[in-house]
Amino acid sequence: MFRSLSACATLCLALPSAVDAQQRTGYGLGRAPTTQEINAWDIDVRPDGHGVRKGAGTVAQGQKIYDEQCASCHGTFGESTSYMAVAGGVRKTDLQSGRASALKDATAIRTLGTKLNYATTLWDYIYRAMPWTNPQSLTVDQTYAVTAYVLHLNEIVGADFELNEKTLLAVQMPNRNGLTTAHGLSRVDGRPDAQGTLCMKDCVRDVTIASALPEFARNQSGNLAEQRRPLGPMRGIDTAKYGSKGGPAVAKTQMSAPAGVHPTELLARYACTACHGLTNKIVGPGFSEIAGRYQGQPAALGYLSTKIRDGGQGVWGSVPMPAQAAVKEADVNAIAQWLVNGAR
Amino acid sequence: MNLQPKGRLLLAPENHLSAAHLAQGSRRSFLRGGVAAGASIASSAALAQASDVSSLIPPWTRSLGGPVVATGYGMPSKHEVNVQRRQSPGLTPQPQASVSFTPLQNLFGIITPSGVHFERHHSGMPEVDPQQHRLMIHGMVKRPLMLTMDDVMRFSSVSRIHFIECGANGGMEWANVAVPTVQYTHGMVACSEFTGVLLSTLLDEVGIDRTLAKFVLAEGSDGSALTRTIPMEFALNDVMVVYGQNGEMLRPENGYPLRLLVPGVQGVSSVKWLRRLEVGDKPWNTREEALHYIDLMPDGIHRQYSGVQEVKSVITMPSGGQKLVGQGYYEITGLAWSGRGKVRRVDVSVDGGRNWHTARLQEPVLTKALTRFRLDWNWNGAPALLQSRAIDDTGHVQPSIHQLRAVRGVRSIYHNNAVQTWSVQADGEVWNVQVA
């Protein structure tokens, strides 16, 4: 008692400000967001209709946008598995049961159609994050249209369907009953479903190897000798003897001074290489093919810059190249110059 | 197998000394040489010793070193160039929607250096300007807030050490062995000291009605504007809004300048480049919780909102892709963690799970943080199967791959916390295997 009193005698002069800070109702930091700010950022749409935006789009309108801006990655029929397969695997009976039966098969067909439970999630993601290289560029109506077309690719809605803020909430997805939260991993105090055993002695009689890395796969992650510090009680195994398959990408420049960005790094940064190989066609032509076609043409630099920026269709085939608004002007020019110089 | 250490049976390699140098360094061998070959040899050896003095002193001792501030923000030694984050070839078609793995086989202790913390981006890494960045907190709150980074960094703060583990860590190995090293089997986990504001502090500030407000939506400002629903019981428990990591600001690839941290929960919920928190009464069913990060069970049902990373451990040395330099003493060491709390115990087996030995835990043992364990081992050159098994303070015992598959099958992708086996061959090579 006396000790705390004497402590107060020396400290009480300093105390009031500290007490004030704790007793205040709040920190008083920041400001209220404006209505415009909330409208610009609060774009989420929930299955119960929270956040749904007024608008409409048809399957036919959606097909046009999809073919121009989505098919290059997801495939003309939504079949590409390189990225999210947006269609396939849905069976007629699934629409009744609300369970995608393909997921019970040993080779589960995992697509947007077989997995997704609510169409609002599809609308929400297209509006916030697609097209991948140009997110938040679609209008509300365009988003309804593309969503409608993807639903149609999965044979969930007919060819003449119009999706709007009301029909979006009424769409019955084929796997709407296929997700559960009845498990321990969703709660702070959830119970585990797979429990180990605490045996210490003679726990198993025979130990056999059920699975091992085949020899051909031992170098597929790169030479392991180069992935382990050459110091201490272990070395990385020199796996070059198992073959010369390419190893994983590593930023080799990390330990040296930063160098100027090579155009090929820009191609990777802007995901140009998703559709164009350096020499070969993937979706669009290879870069060396482009360089070859325009070699020596005086107007090539300006032409290629425009093509990169605005996209195009018909020069190399029917699959259109979307406009690349995300690529900085200086980088557009650097890539175009590199193409003119022979793409080397 | 004898697990008692017999002392260091193998000296560190002295590769920079020749056999002749080593012989000169020993009086007995010098005398033996003298006895065998006579006095003339002894005098020439003495001459050789004098002329070789300079070769015994390394050049960095005989020269002036570099100045301070040779690099304003330091880098590891150039000899550490092998220690890198790496992608797993063929796992993803594009590096902007991909993952890089932490090189666990090269790390000590429990803190992951920020530069090798694993990365997971969905639409690439944005370059966020901290002066323009804002955090909006709104929805079912009494006082919606728009905060600058200056504002966020003025709130009372906490620093805590926690792991972040991707829900798909180990996802390639549900059915069989697929990758060679611990970097690829377990490298989507890292542990850092994080500094920021408790989310409960911010929710107090905006004011919520606990009877209505059940969930918080977190949203990133990257191109995917990634969204995840955080249940309020997690949000008010220990979730942080983080700007500091290991004493510095977050690295760009890990969310600069602001991220969420949901301790113990799969990494996707720790939304990077955090720009918005919306309080609501229902979960959002976003793409990352309805199409991905859902666990496919044998009956074709997906488990949704499967957040918690359950008890897990792995031996990092010796581990797959490594070669032991010879027989004798080794320290078996690795990492254990649990999204439900602290690691209580780790057992290690060197015979494929037949017999187990309790490992030493390195202090500090922290909740929802990596914990380092160690066990002395004398390798006699015979093949061995190394395993570790962690138990957390809820009593949950890390399951074997068979115990896990019995419940979840092999198609789950996410939340593989099975016991890992490393096979030590007679030649000292260590390879990734699964035991029957």
- Which among A184, A224, A326 has the least Cβ separation from residue B180? A224
In angstroms, the CA B337 to CA B359 distance is 14
CA-based nearest distance B340→chain A, Å: 7
Residue A180 to residue B301, Cβ atoms within 8 A:
yes
Sequence-ordered strand ranges (E) for A127-278: 162-164, 179-180, 209-212, 234-236
Q: Does B113 touch chain A (CB under 8 A)?
A: no
Among the partner residues B233, B303, B398, nearest to A185 by beta-carbon distance: B303
Residue A141: per-residue pLDDT: 98
Q: Which of residues 273-302 of B touch A (CB under 8 A)?
A: 275-276, 278, 280, 282, 284-287, 290-291, 294-296, 299-302
What's the pLDDT band for A263 if we cut at 50, 70, 90? confident
Helix (H, G, I), strand (E, B) or coil at A247: coil
Nearest to A225, CA basis, from A241, A211, A208, A209: A241
Six token digits for residue B83: 């220690």
pLDDT bin (cut points 50, 70, 90) of residue A302 is confident
The rounded percent of chain B whose pLDDT value lies above 90 is: 86
Give residue A8's pLDDT.
45
Contact A44, A132 (CB under 8 A): no
What pLDDT score was predicted for residue A6? 45
From chain A, the residues in CB contact with B353 under 8 A are 203-204, 207
Q: What is the mean pLDDT of residues B77-87?
A: 97
Q: Do B276 and A42 touch (CB under 8 A)?
A: yes
The verdict on a CB contact (< 8 Å) between A121 and B177 is no
Local confidence band at B335 (pLDDT 50, 70, 90 cut-offs)? very high
List all residues of chain A from 58 to 97 with a beta carbon under 8 Å from chain B.
82-84
Q: Find chain B residues with C-beta within 8 A of A43's C-beta.
A: 225
Position A265 scores a pLDDT of 81
- Span B116-174, pLDDT tens digits: 999 999 999 999 999 999 999 999 999 999 999 999 999 999 999 999 999 999 999 99
CB A284 within 8 A of CB A293: no
- The average confidence (pLDDT) of chain A is 86
Residue B413 contacts A, CB cutoff 8 Å: no
* Torsions phi, psi for A89 (to 5 deg): 85, -10
Contact criterion met (CB < 8 Å) for B87 and A249: yes
Could you say which residues from 223 to 282 on chain A have a Cβ atom under 8 Å away from some Cβ of chain B? 224, 226-237, 239, 245-251, 254-255, 268-269, 271, 273-274
This complex has an ipTM of: 0.88
Centroid of chain to Cα A337: 30
Residue B330, both tokens: 């080794």
Mutation for testing the A interface, residue in B71, B154, B306, B327 having most A CBs under 10 Å = B306
Residues 283-312 on A with a CB inside 8 Å of B are none
Give the number of other CB atoms < 10 A from CB of residue A296: 6
For residue B13, what pLDDT is reported?
52
Per-residue pLDDT at A250: 53
Q: Is the pLDDT of residue A155 over 70?
A: yes
Q: How far is CA A239 from CA A222, A227, B127, B173, B386, in A?
A: 8, 11, 37, 21, 21
Which of A102-106, A252-256, B309-313 is predicted most confidently? B309-313
Averaged pLDDT, B87-102: 92
Query: Mean per-residue pLDDT for B178-203?
Result: 98
Rounded distance, CA B51 to CA B56, Å?
10
Residues 6+ apart with CB under 8 A from A170: none
3-state secondary structure B174-222: CCCCCCCCHHHHHCCEEEEEEEEEEHHHHHHHHCCCCCCCCEEEEEECC
Confidence (pLDDT) at B268: 98
Comparison of pLDDT for A83 and B28, the residue scoring more:
A83
Look at residue A171 and give its three-state secondary structure. coil
pTM of the model: 0.83
Question: Binning pLDDT at 50, 70 and 90, where does residue A209 land?
Answer: very high
Element (H, E) at A58: strand A56-58
pLDDT of residue B51: 61
Higher pLDDT, A145 or A288: A145
Q: Which residues of A touch B89 (CB under 8 A)?
A: 220-222, 245-248
Verify whether the Cβ–Cβ distance A132 to B223 is below 8 Å. yes
Query: What pLDDT digit, counting tens, does each position of B165-186 carry?
Result: 999 999 999 999 999 999 999 9
Q: Do B284 and A210 touch (CB under 8 A)?
A: no
In single-letter form, the type of residue at position A269 comes to R
- What are the φ and ψ backbone dihedral angles of B79, each rounded to 5 degrees? -75, -10
Q: Which of A115-124, A314-323, B240-249 has the lowest mean pLDDT?
A: A314-323
Q: Is A21 on the interface with B (CB under 8 A)?
A: no
Q: Do B183 and A227 touch (CB under 8 A)?
A: yes
Of all residues in chain B, the one with the smallest CA distance to A34 is B146
Report the gap between the CA of B117 and the closest CA in chain A (Å): 14
* Position B237 pLDDT exceeds 60: yes
Judged against a pLDDT cut of 80, whether residue B378 lies above it is answered with: yes
Distance (Å) from the C-alpha of residue B23 to the closest C-alpha of chain A?
Answer: 25
- Which of A46, A200, A212 comes nearest B356 by C-beta? A200
User: Encoding tokens for residue B341?
Assistant: 């709390």
Higher pLDDT, B44 or B254: B254
Of A330, A82, A174, the C-alpha closest to B90 is: A82
> What average pLDDT does the structure give for chain B?
91
| Rounded mean pLDDT, B179-207 | 98
**Mean pLDDT, rounded, for A162-171:** 98
The residues in A 201-220 lying below 8 A from B, measured between CB atoms, are 201-205, 207-213, 217-218, 220
From the candidates A114, A118, A224, which should be mutated to test the interface with B, based on the most B CB atoms within 10 A? A224
The rounded distance, in Å, linking the Cα atoms of A138 and B271 is 24
Residues in chain A with CB shorter than 8 Å from the CB of B176 are: 211
Confidence band (pLDDT; 50, 70, 90) for A254? Answer: very low
